[in-house]
Structures are given as C-alpha cells and as structure tokens.
Amino acid sequence: MNFENLKPQVTAILSEANIEREVKLKALCQFLFDHVDYYNWVGFYFADHENKTLHLGPYVGAETDHTVIPFGKGICGQVAESNANFVVPDVAAQDNYIACSFTVKSEIVVPLFVNGKNIGQIDIDSHVLNPFSTADERFLEFVNEEVAKLF
C-alpha cells in the first residue's frame, strides 16, 4: 500500500471550506474505508477526560454497540491511558479486548493529540490477521496531525 498517494486527498478532505468538522471526519472515514482494502471499520473516539470515557464519533463500517468506552478498557481505552499507538495483529490473543464482531481479526488505534493533549483516537478494525505495518502507523499519525488542525 502506497500511503503517500493518499495523503493529498486526506488533506483536501479535511481542508474543504464551509463543511462542518463532523462531516469532514465522516468523509475521511469513508475515504480510508474505500481506499485501503483491509480497513474494514474506520472511526474516531473522543475523550471525556472528566469522566474518563471515550465517546464514539464519526465512523464507517458495521454498527457498534461500543459508543462509550471507559479509559483502560479494550484497545481504545488502553490507548486513552497510554497515549501510544496500539497495533493488535490478532485480537483473539488479547486479554483486554472488547469484541465488536466475530469478523474482526486485528485492530490499530492511534491517539489524536491537540496541543499535546490526547483528545481521542482513530480506530481501525480489519477482517485480516496481522495486516497493519509501521507504514500504517506513520500514515495514521499523519492523518491525525491533519485532523488536529480542525480543533
């Protein structure tokens, strides 16, 4: 996957004038879902630091019951506390994993920082075992740097 080719389109989606942030984020999720064949669920969770919970934002993919996730629970909740990327090659091997669907085999979560504060994350599920590489991490870090400009 050549992520460099996708970067200009990510920037274009997020810099579109006169479009609300939520609409831009949903369009970004759709773009990633459509252009990376092993991205089978793409969404954002945003942190409520006072209540130590994550709240589901725009996403594309199968519906999820996980609209609120406590910090520390599951992959997303762990990233809310660690402030570090978390790549899970095989979700079945994770003790602290919140199962969304039996079709999900792997997951990557990359925190979203605004002014040095973790305000949320991009979360991607795949139906493929171990598809995520360092290139995915660097690309999603770029995506989140672009998203951070909206806040």
Count of alpha carbons within 13 angstroms of residue 30, beta-carbon side = 8
- Which pLDDT belongs to residue 69? 96
* Cβ pair 40, 104 in contact under 8 A: yes
- Please, what sign has the CA dihedral across residues 12, 122, 45, 59? positive
- Which pLDDT belongs to residue 103? 84
Number of neighbouring beta carbons within 10 Å of residue 113: 18
What is the pLDDT of the chain when averaged over all its residues? 94
Number of domains composing the chain: 1
- Which pLDDT belongs to residue 101? 65
> In the chain, how many H helices and how many E strands?
4, 6
Total number of residues shown for the chain: 151
Of the chain, the percentage scoring pLDDT greater than 90 comes to 87
Domain CATH for 98:
3.30.450.40
Domain, as residue range, for 65: 3-148
Q: Cα angle vertex 111, ends 142, 82, to 5°? A: 140
d(CA 46, CA 70): 11
Q: What is the pLDDT of residues 82-112, one digit of tens each?
A: 999 999 999 888 776 666 667 889 999 999 9
Q: Is the pTM of this model over 0.85?
A: yes
Give all strands (DSSP E) within 71-129, no chain letters.
Answer: 86-88, 106-114, 117-126
Q: What is the pLDDT of residues 13-47, one digit of tens each?
A: 999 999 999 999 999 999 999 999 999 999 999 99
How far is CA 21 from each of CA 3, 8, 99, rounded to the nearest angstrom?
23, 18, 29
